[in-house]
Amino acid sequence: MPRSHLFAPEHEEFRGTVRRFIENGETDLARLWEIDAEFASRFCAYQEEFGFRSIRYEVADPSILETPSLTLSLIADQLRTGYDPAARAAEVARRREAARAEARALLAGRPEVDRARFERALDRAERWYPAREDYAPMTFSEQLALIRRVALEMGRRLAESSLIDGPDDIFFLEGEEAGAALAGRLARLGELLQRLAAVVDRVIAGVEARQVQMPAQLDAFVRCQRMQHAYQRAGRRS
């Protein structure tokens, strides 16, 4: 995680109650503010600067900003392992130089053209591979986090209108369906209700036919029932 050395164990704020809070696996930010407002402020600033990114390739999943417990667990891992950013960087540099020297030694007896080709490839790798790590957030994770924020705002507005139970229910909809709901075109939602009801019927039939619990289907069943209830309510409002 970028700049995680800001929370390295040697920093003074990791003494006392803050360190115990983190090492004990606590995640209540309100309590963290009570323990040490200065550290809590720095932590929240870190989350705001670096947390606006997705964790996976799925906008329905919370972002890092929404899951401070994840960042706190990473800090706890650093505390348990005695993380030292300077020593870590020095060790990485040592291993890199050792690998470079080993490769050049293996190529020492090869023609000059082969050694030159290796140096060109090494130079390109050293210039571009770090870019992959540095710019990965800008290539997908920040975009997904932005899409999620827009979707949650749509969900909040639909929830305020009692068209869905909560903002997160927006992720049960397709883009066109969410737009139609936001625009008040409830006729379109009636079609959606029928489709979801048909899915529920198929799930029930599948579970009864096998007479066993099927977690994936049951999960779909619960979701469909929630959406069915929401859109029945929306239909009554039309």
Domain containing residue 226: 162-237
Q: Show which of 120, 145, 170 is a domain's final residue.
A: 145
- For the whole model, what pTM was predicted? 0.60
The pLDDT of residue 234 is above 70: no
The pLDDT of residue 115 is above 90: yes
- 204 and 198 in contact (C-beta within 8 Å)? no
Domain co-membership, 198 together with 139: no
| Integer Cα distance of 24 and 125 in angstroms | 41
**What was the pLDDT predicted at 111?**
93
Domain co-membership, 120 together with 74: yes
What are the structure tokens assigned to 4, written together?
């995680």
- At 73-110, the pLDDT tens digits run 888 888 888 888 899 889 999 999 999 999 999 999 99
**What was the pLDDT predicted at 187?**
45
Domain co-membership, 77 together with 102: yes
Spell out the SS3 assignment of the chain.
Answer: CCCHHHHCCCCHHHCCHHHHHHHCCCCCHHHHHHHCHHHHHHHHHHHHHHCCCCCCCCCCCCCCCCCHHHHHHHHHHHHHHCCCHHHHHHHHHHHHHHHHHHHHHHCCCCCHHHHHHHHHHHHHHHHHHHHHHHHHHHHHHHHHHHHHHHHHHHHHHHHHCCCCCCHHHHHHCCHHHHHHHHHCCHHHHHHHHHHHHHHHHHHHHHHHHHCCCCHHHHHHHHHHHHHHHHHHHHHHHC
Per-residue pLDDT band for 213 (boundaries 50, 70, 90) equals low
Domain co-membership, 94 together with 169: no
**What was the pLDDT predicted at 60?**
86
Domain co-membership, 183 together with 119: no
**What was the pLDDT predicted at 5?**
47
In a domain, 154, yes or no: no
- At 1-35, the pLDDT tens digits run 444 444 544 555 456 888 888 888 888 888 888 88
Domain co-membership, 25 together with 52: yes
Percent of the chain with pLDDT over 90: 18
- At 154-195, the pLDDT tens digits run 989 888 887 777 888 888 777 887 888 888 765 445 456 566
Average pLDDT over residues 67-76: 89
Average pLDDT over residues 219-230: 52
- At 38-52, the pLDDT tens digits run 888 899 999 988 888
Domain co-membership, 83 together with 130: yes
Domain co-membership, 197 together with 133: no
> CA torsion 33→38→42→48, rounded to 10°?
50
| Integer Cα distance of 144 and 62 in angstroms | 10
Q: Which of 127-136, 148-157, 174-183, 224-233 has the lowest mean pLDDT?
A: 224-233
Per-residue pLDDT band for 134 (boundaries 50, 70, 90) equals low
In a domain, 152, yes or no: no
| Integer Cα distance of 47 and 126 in angstroms | 29
Can you tell me which residue has the tokens 């309590």? Answer: 31
Domain co-membership, 9 together with 99: yes
The mean of the pLDDT values for the chain is 77
Q: Show which of 110, 145, 180 is a domain's final residue.
A: 145
In a domain, 151, yes or no: no
